[in-house]
């Protein structure tokens, strides 16, 4: 027993010694343990970790869905869509092929501003490796990688309006020039695909691509684009059994082709020498989509402060972000310097002055549009739909004639109560340039503070005084623009001065061709609030910033108000007001007028906007928006029928939300007296 007790004691001492050794070993290890490891173990989960994990999760899900989309059978997305929305309507091309329509007249597409791709052929060292890569359209990858280099190469020479030294950017050729603006964002692709359904192919379709930055005449001077269009149309007519072409311009392309029709008739060297019968021999119809015939107020805000409604709203949510030096970029200043070299933008300054757009105390639209009305959806592509009946008694007249007003009170006050300075006297005064050292020069930097104050003190600008304003704040820009474009109404169209190319894109200062068998269509969306006038303020930022800004705090005070975020809206397609898109076809060219001496038939085709019912419909098949309308099934069907041989009368003539004399109505109500279409009617006669 004593032995056992001693044995037990021995074991106990050994166990105690073992425990001591373990403790000492742990202490020894702690001496060599990294302090960083200890710090890491004690670190808590941070917001940065959460953000990284969230971004990683989103990217993983995105790539998984992308992989799934590209590996699944093509029929599955359609099956899912039909399960949710019901059976899909046949695309117009499929529908009309079943009716027996086939390829007939060759088709010419004329893209508008922005939508055509541009690629680099020669550049500076910063653009190394970009030969024949797209600088505009496609992925816009170079914009993110080297933005300053991109802006430099997208700019034109500020003196000549042509290429800067050492830079050559040229339009992409072929149908791919403007089928998609960016990946997944169609422009002409849907129309091309539907035409292909009835037999069209590249030999019967031609994309008249051009450098949309240049003034219209300079596209011929630099690239001979007008000559190429003339030759291609002649070739298409000759190789298709003498069948005339159907021309489909969109947006600014409408003005460009209007210029072309005068150029092709005019004798060399200014014109193409085709003679007065060229259009009659080669063109069946011109189907203008979203045409800014009389300009767009949106162009004024773009030239004045590089703004539109969307940018103004972005400024509100992120004050100063776009104006300051962010990541080495002064965004707005770079954007203004670049876009003010694009002479084509001046083609869309409102034309016709106060006669068309209204004066200080009147405007043609009046209370004919409810900016808060909800668009009704109609699934029939043969019906443009109607907006709901509106109680006009509860709607307040809006004076859209004041395109720019400095202050909401000025926009709404009677002209007799507005005290204004004389802007012309301020223009005669010597310019006192700002002495601040600005990294990015824009024309505002040559204007002294007294001139900036004078602009605001003049308080309100109509279409007639907008030109004085632009000459005042950007004389170099307007000097170039004045050599290529005009904005008035002709007194005598037989005056020899109207043979100059600067008048050819203004429908109020030129005659349509002598082609009585040709047809002209004005096709545009309606029912979308469209920028029409602006409330501005003078900024309190540094001298190097743009001194004028849309006052987003100016609100109308009610849900149905047409003043929201400093922008007055009217009826249109989100970019072009109805006044500009439809007035010439409704009055100026209707019948035999001095603008249309041969009596070319004109037709108005309006498409009431209906947004997509769900995300699966993409941008919708009933959209009236300026670009999305290119996927509108009703419009595509009209185009295909005309290309297949139909006339405007066979389409049913005019199709619009208007009365027979061209005066817009609301919800089937009587014409509103606010529409002074009689003014242009009298001028046209």
Burial tier of 75 (Cβ tally within 10 Å: 0-12, 13-18, 19+): exposed
Beta bridge partners of 285: 246, 519
Q: For residues 608-630, b (16+ Cβ closer than 10 Å) or e, as one string?
A: bbbbbeeeeeebbbbbbbbbbbb
**What's the sign of the alpha-carbon dihedral 496, 502, 505, 506?**
negative
Contact 370, 666 (CB under 8 A): yes
Measured CA to CA, the distance from residue 503 to residue 291 in angstroms comes to 17
The Cα–Cα gap between 125 and 122 comes to 10
- Assess whether 484 carries a catalytic annotation: no
Main-chain dihedrals φ then ψ at residue 226, nearest 5 degrees: -65, -40
Residue 568, strand partner residues:
533, 563
Cα torsion through 24, 28, 34, 38, rounded to 10: 10
Residues 6+ apart with CB under 8 A from 152: 124, 126, 164, 167
Q: Are strands 329-330 and 168-171 parallel, antiparallel or unpaired?
A: unpaired
Is the Cβ–Cβ distance between 548 and 305 less than 8 Å? yes
Burial of 258 (0-12, 13-18, 19+ CB in 10 A): buried
Cβ pair 270, 502 in contact under 8 A: no
178 torsion bin: left (phi>0), alpha (psi -120 to 50), beta (else): alpha
Identified catalytic residue from 250, 282, 609, 626? 626
Point out the catalytic residue in the list 211, 323, 571, 573.
Answer: 573
**Rounded distance between C-alpha atoms, residue 319 and residue 552, angstroms:** 11
Distance from chain centroid for Cα 27: 72
Tell me how far apart the alpha carbons of residues 619 and 184 are, in angstroms, rounded to a whole number. 11
Q: Are 534 and 405 in contact (CB under 8 A)?
A: yes
8 A C-beta contact, residue 157 and residue 341: yes
What's the CA gap between 466 and 487, in Å, rounded? Answer: 11
Sequence-distant (≥ 6) Cβ neighbours of residue 227 within 8 angstroms: 220, 272
Report in angstroms the alpha-carbon separations of 22 from 74, 168, 522, 662: 67, 78, 93, 99
Distance from C-alpha of 494 to C-alpha of 47, rounded to nearest angstrom: 73
CA distances (Å), origin 590, targets 254, 464, 599: 18, 25, 8
Cβ count near 126 (within 10 Å):
12
DSSP structure string for 118-186: EEEEE--GGGTT-TT-EEESBT-HHHHH-HHHHHHHHPPPTTTSSPPTT-EEEEPPSGGGTSEEETTEE
* Active-site annotation holds for 573: yes
Query: Token match 């084509």: residue?
Result: 344
Encode burial over 182-220: b for 16+ CB neighbours within 10 A, e otherwise: eeeebbbbbbbebbebbebeeebbbbbbbbbbbbbbbbb
Q: Is 28 helix (H, G, I), strand (E, B) or coil?
A: helix
| CA gap 360, 354 in Å, rounded | 9
Q: Could you tell me the CA-to-CA distances from 313 to 302, 307, 429, 529, 552 in Å, in that order?
A: 15, 10, 35, 15, 7
Among 228, 225, 241, residue whose Cα is nearest residue 106: 241
* Catalytic residue chosen out of the listed positions 155, 251, 363, 608: 251
The residues annotated with a catalytic role in the active site are 251, 573, 626
């Amino acid at each position: 027993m004593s032995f056992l007790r001693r044995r037990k004691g021995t074991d106990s001492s050994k166990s105690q010694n073992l425990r001591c050794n373990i403790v000492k070993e742990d202490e020894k290890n702690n001496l060599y343990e990294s302090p960083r490891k200890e710090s890491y173990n004690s670190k808590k989960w941070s917001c940065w970790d959460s953000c990284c994990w969230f971004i990683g999760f989103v990217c993983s899900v995105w790539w998984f869905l992308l992989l799934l989309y590209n590996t699944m059978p093509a029929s599955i997305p359609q099956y899912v869509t039909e399960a949710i929305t019901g059976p899909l309507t046949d695309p117009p091309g499929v529908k009309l092929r079943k009716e027996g329509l086939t390829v007939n007249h060759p088709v010419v597409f004329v893209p508008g501003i922005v939508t055509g791709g541009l690629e680099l052929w020669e550049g500076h060292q910063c653009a190394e490796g970009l030969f024949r890569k797209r600088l505009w359209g496609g992925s816009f990858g170079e914009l993110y990688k080297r933005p300053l280099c991109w802006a430099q190469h997208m700019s034109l020479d500020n003196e000549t309006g042509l290429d800067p030294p050492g830079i050559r950017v040229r339009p992409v050729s072929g149908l791919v020039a403007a089928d998609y603006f960016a990946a997944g964002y169609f422009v002409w692709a849907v129309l091309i695909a539907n035409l292909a359904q009835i037999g069209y192919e590249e030999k019967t379709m031609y994309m008249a691509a051009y450098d949309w930055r240049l003034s219209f005449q300079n596209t011929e001077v630099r690239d001979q684009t007008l000559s190429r269009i003339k030759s291609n149309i002649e070739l298409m007519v000759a190789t298709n059994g003498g069948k005339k072409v159907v021309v489909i311009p969109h947006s600014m392309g409408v003005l460009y082709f209007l210029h072309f029709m005068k150029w092709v008739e005019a004798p060399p060297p200014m014109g193409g020498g085709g003679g007065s019968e060229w259009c009659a021999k080669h063109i069946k119809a011109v189907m203008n989509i979203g045409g800014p015939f009389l300009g767009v107020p949106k162009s004024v805000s773009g030239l004045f402060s590089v703004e539109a409604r969307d940018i103004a709203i972005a400024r509100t949510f992120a004050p100063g972000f776009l104006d300051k030096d962010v990541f080495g970029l002064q965004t707005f200043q770079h954007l203004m310097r670049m876009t003010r070299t694009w002479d084509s933008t001046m083609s869309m300054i409102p034309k016709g002055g106060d006669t068309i757009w209204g004066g200080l105390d009147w405007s043609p639209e009046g209370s004919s549009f409810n900016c808060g009305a909800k668009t009704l959806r109609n699934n029939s592509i043969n019906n443009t739909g109607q907006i709901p009946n509106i109680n006009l008694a509860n709607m307040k007249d809006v004076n859209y004639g004041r395109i720019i007003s400095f202050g909401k009170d000025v926009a709404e006050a009677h002209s007799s109560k507005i005290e204004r300075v004389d802007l012309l006297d301020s223009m005669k005064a010597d310019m006192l340039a700002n002495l601040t050292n600005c990294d990015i020069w824009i024309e505002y930097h040559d204007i002294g503070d007294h001139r900036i104050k004078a602009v605001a003190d003049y308080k309100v600008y109509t279409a007639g005084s907008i030109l004085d304003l632009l000459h005042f704040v950007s004389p170099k820009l307007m000097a170039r623009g004045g050599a290529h474009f005009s904005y008035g109404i002709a007194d005598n169209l037989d005056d020899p001065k109207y043979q100059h190319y600067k008048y050819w894109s203004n429908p109020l200062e030129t005659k349509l061709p002598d082609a009585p068998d040709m047809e002209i269509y004005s096709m545009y969306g309606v029912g979308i609030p469209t920028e029409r006038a602006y409330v501005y303020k003078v900024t309190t930022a540094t001298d190097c910033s743009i001194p004028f800004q849309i006052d987003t705090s100016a609100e109308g005070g009610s849900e149905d108000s047409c003043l929201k975020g400093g922008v007055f809206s009217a009826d249109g397609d989100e970019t072009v007001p109805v006044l500009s898109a439809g007035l010439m076809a409704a009055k100026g060219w209707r019948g035999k007028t001095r603008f249309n001496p041969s009596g070319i038939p004109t037709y108005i085709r309006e498409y009431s906007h209906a947004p997509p019912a769900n995300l699966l419909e993409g941008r919708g098949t009933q959209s009236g928006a300026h670009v999305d309308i290119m996927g509108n099934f009703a419009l595509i069907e009209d185009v295909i029928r005309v290309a297949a041989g139909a006339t405007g009368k066979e389409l049913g003539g005019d199709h619009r939300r208007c009365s027979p004399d061209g005066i817009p109505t609301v919800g089937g109500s009587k014409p509103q007296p606010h529409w002074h279409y009689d003014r242009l009617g009298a001028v046209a006669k």
